[in-house]
Amino acid sequence: MTTPLNPLIARFDGQPALVAIEQATRFQSLVVEGAKVYDKIVMSSDRMALIDDFWPEENDWRAAYRPYVVKDGVLQIPVRGVLLNNFPWQLYDWATGYDYIARAFSRGLNDPKVNGIAFVIDSPGGEVAGNFDLVDMIYAGRGQKPMRAFAAESAYSAAYSIASAADTIVVSRTGGVGSIGVVTAHIDVSKALDRVGIAVTFIHFGKHKVDGNPYEPLPDDVKARIQARIDELGAMFVSIVARNRGMEEQVIRDTEALTYTASQATSIGLADEIGPLEDGLAAFAAELSTNRKGNAMGQNTSEQTAVDQASIDKAREEGKTEGLKAGATAERSRIAAIVNSDNGKSRPKMALKMALGDKFATLDSDTVVEMLGDMPEEKAESAENTTGKTFRDAMDSGKNPDIGAPSDDEESRVDATLTRIKGPRKAA
């Protein structure tokens, strides 16, 4: 068996990966340097204690490898270096674990001091294992708090998968994104072994137990089986990015795992904005602050509007009640002025009819009294109404007395009087 360079690079030996191959040299350098830091952590830590207490105290040396930085209300989650499954650490620019990202993201969603979450990304990619589950988790968090991904400088393959789950992707002007594909490799060292006279013989149970080993050429049928697996994973990757970015799957598939510059990425929909990281973070924080103030003002305005409307409704109801009282008082005064006038006393029946009739409701008491003066006086026996009720009795009974309509002769006299006082009446 070949000897791996270190335990981190061994994770990728013969395994499918989400890595931009054009950054292979950088990738190898990152895992070599990251392994050095990882060795120190493993040698210096109580592994069980770290599992039980994921977030060390700020003054604990281990806190540097599990950063939780909130600035101006924005949680900055670093997604740097090679991305690793089942890895709960963040090793500066060299490596970042999916477990760490998931823990930081969950903490940020539940932290009241965090208004928004920024993924600060510079990575050539990483492992397939664990990536899609992490991305689904981030995508499910949309709407809870604003999320923005910053490719500063690069967000390739596994890193772009994570970036696509955010609401917005910002790329530095010299940065790049893409490489939406899956890769693995088979290394055949059989000829090299032949040259040095080394032969490897496998003793195994199961026809396919040693498929893909590096000590013999890769058979076509084995290659086809590996290719089918890569195709299946690639289809998952395409589907996830299409969902996250709101794009057609065929458009994503047609990129054929190309990498794109900032301007190219924004033109085809793989990114939204171009700009420096610091400016982007400052703008994000400012937007969040403005939105929070706007929401607070909107809530206060809604509450004040509700109070104001309640006051208006109350005032309207009180005004309506007072208006009805005032109207009733004025109407009683008008009727009394008509009935108790000299002309009304000498014509009590007609006075009561005109005081209560709808036809004369728009006329003031003086006008009605003047009209009564033009009418003949009634006989003394007419002073009482046919029901035996006085005027006060009629008004206090809760309904208008049955006074009947004016006769034709009375109507003619009323019209004549109105004509003299107000001019000809308009036809109804």
**Residues belonging to the active site:** 157
Helix (H) or strand (E) holding 312, with range, is: helix 277-339
HSE, CB side, 13 Å, CA atoms: give it for residue 219.
Answer: 8
How far apart are alpha carbons 251 and 239 in whole angstroms? 11
Torsion of Cα atoms, 162 then 165 then 166 then 171, to 10°: 50
Tokens of 263: 């301007």
Residue 212 gets the label, from left (phi > 0), alpha (psi -120 to 50) or beta, of left
Token digits for 378?
Answer: 């009634």
Helix (H, G, I), strand (E, B) or coil at 162: helix
CA distance 100 to 69: 13
What contacts 356, CB < 8 A, 6 or more positions away? Answer: 335, 400, 401, 403
H or E stretch at 70: strand 69-71
Our CA dihedral for 27, 32, 34, 39, rounded to 10 degrees, sits at 150
DSSP, collapsed to helix, strand or coil, labels residue 163 as helix
First-to-final CA distance of the chain: 112
222: its two tokens = 């084995």
Look up residue 403 and give its amino acid.
Answer: I
CB 90 within 8 A of CB 100: yes
Whole-angstrom CA distances from 199 to 14, 112, 206, 213 are 21, 63, 21, 13
Nearest to 12 by CA among 116, 103, 82, 74: 82
Q: Are strands 90-91 and 273-274 parallel, antiparallel or unpaired?
A: unpaired
